[in-house]
């Protein structure tokens, strides 16, 4: 089971709608958003949490306020249940994914003028794949998706592992010198992770799922785009359902 939803956030939001929507957030989220100085950052955080809560409450058939996120020791949100989820954003684009299996998702806007090689995140094995700006963003989102899937963020050096396209399939390879099990108490078997990527407009999306089967992920058939008006309507309908 896999669900992926995409949402482009609005540039402006009526103050009444903003106040209504923030009331649905957890207290720590409200405080965090209020401290943000940039309106776009506020909207990204607001709609990111609401999109997550809406999809999960529809899945569990419960009140949106009953969906409460916990944070693991590495900063990744989770819920104490049988479902995994992850969210990412770039510019005004939000992407949310959920699955019965561990999942990580990343989205980045392609900037052909940015030199990603300066970030020193790619190892020698990956250099042969980096022939254009799109290649850089593709490799970076693949790396991010795996790090987000296992839930440790950048505690693993990005240069210590590769996700290479071998015979048409992305394959995880970890440097022999890295001992993730010892350093982070994680047991990693590279063959268990499946990857997929998709380019939408000027964005690259990559997803990683921990799944030992050979089933291929088809993002072109998995992503559901939601309009803001539809999101608001579904939130209000959800509230009325349990009123």
Q: What pLDDT, in 10s, does the model give residues 151-196?
A: 877 778 888 888 988 888 888 888 876 666 555 556 677 788 999 9
Which region among 136-145, 197-206, 214-223 has the lowest average model confidence (pLDDT)?
Answer: 214-223
CA distance 137 to 150: 20
Question: What Rg do the C-alpha atoms of the chain give, in angstroms?
Answer: 19
Which residue has better confidence, 141 or 157? 141
Q: What is the pLDDT of residue 183?
A: 58
Q: What is the pLDDT of residue 204?
A: 94
| Rounded mean pLDDT, 24-48 | 88
Q: What is the pLDDT of residue 109?
A: 93
CA distance 44 to 3: 20
**Residue 228, pLDDT above cutoff 70:** yes
210 C-beta neighbours (distance < 10 Å), count: 18
Structure confidence by residue, pLDDT tens digits, 42-73: 999 999 999 999 999 999 998 888 888 888 77
Q: What is the pLDDT of residue 64?
A: 87
CA distance 30 to 61: 24
| Rounded mean pLDDT, 7-18 | 87
Please give the domain boundaries of the chain with CATH numbers for all domains.
Answer: 2-241 (3.90.470.20)
Which residue has better confidence, 213 or 224? 224
CA distance 131 to 174: 22
pLDDT band at 89 (very low <50, low <70, confident <90, very high): very high
Q: What is the pLDDT of residue 112?
A: 76
What residues have CB less than 8 Å from 194, skipping those under 6 apart?
Answer: 208, 209, 210, 211, 213, 215, 216, 217
The bridge status of strand 2-8 relative to strand 223-226 is parallel
Q: What is the pLDDT of residue 116?
A: 67
Q: What is the largest CA-CA distance in the chain?
A: 58
């Amino acid at each position: 089971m896999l669900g992926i939803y995409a949402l482009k956030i609005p540039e402006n939001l009526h103050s009444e709608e903003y106040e209504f929507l923030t009331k649905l957030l957890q207290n720590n989220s409200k405080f965090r958003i209020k401290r943000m100085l940039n309106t776009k950052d506020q909207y990204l955080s607001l709609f990111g949490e609401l999109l997550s809560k809406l999809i999960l409450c529809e899945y569990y058939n419960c009140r949106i306020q009953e969906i409460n996120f916990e944070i693991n020791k590495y900063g990744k949100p989770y819920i104490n249940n049988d479902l995994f989820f992850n969210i990412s954003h770039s510019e005004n684009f939000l992407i949310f994914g959920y699955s019965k299996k561990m999942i990580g998702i990343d989205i980045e806007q392609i900037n052909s003028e940015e030199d990603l090689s300066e970030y020193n995140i790619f190892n020698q094995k990956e250099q042969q794949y980096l022939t254009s700006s799109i290649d850089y963003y593709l490799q970076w989102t693949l790396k991010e998706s795996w790090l987000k899937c296992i839930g440790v963020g950048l505690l693993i050096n990005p240069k210590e592992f590769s996700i290479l396209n071998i015979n048409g399939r992305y394959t995880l390879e970890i440097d022999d010198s890295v001992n993730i099990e010892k350093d982070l108490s994680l047991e990693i078997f590279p063959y268990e992770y499946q990857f997929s990527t998709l380019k939408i407009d000027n964005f690259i999306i990559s997803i990683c799922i921990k799944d030992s089967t050979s089933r291929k992920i088809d993002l072109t058939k998995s992503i559901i785009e939601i309009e803001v008006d539809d999101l608001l309507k579904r939130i209000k309908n959800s509230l009325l359902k349990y009123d």
